[in-house]
Amino acid sequence: MKYIKKYFLIWWIPIIAYLIPYIIFELGMILKKEIVVNLSLAIFYLNVLGNIISAIVQIAIKKWYLLFPQIIVSAFLFFPFQYILCFQNQISTVHTKQFQKI
């Protein structure tokens, strides 16, 4: 419970937490396991939701200026991550074909 509270009170923890779904995604691509990649997508969405809640908490504790880095990072990561996840099968197929040529 203490760690969950810190996630919402300390503004930079939700931003750093975006590394977790990215690492899981890369692991899924290396292992070629679609379920691991889908898990990274679910964790990413949970992190976006947690980031929005954290931004609301920052407003409530009168540190509204700290929500700008959170929202900006979320916005810049949301679209590229969705793009990568949307075309994950094509990306892995291209990488496989490139390695087969070598």
Contact 8, 53 (CB under 8 A): yes
Rounded to whole angstroms, the Cα distance separating 83 from 64 reads 30
Gyration radius of the chain's alpha carbons: 16
Contact 37, 31 (CB under 8 A): no
Contact 67, 55 (CB under 8 A): yes
Q: What is the pTM of this model?
A: 0.72
* Tokens at 14, concatenated: 């939700």
| pLDDT in single tens digits along all 102 residues of the chain | 777 788 778 878 888 888 898 899 889 888 888 888 888 888 988 988 988 888 888 888 888 888 788 888 888 887 777 777 676 665 555 555 555 555
> How much is the pLDDT for 97?
54
Token look-up 């929202």 returns: 71
Distance of CA 100 to the CA centre of its chain: 31
**Residue 1, number of CB atoms within 10 A of its CB:** 5
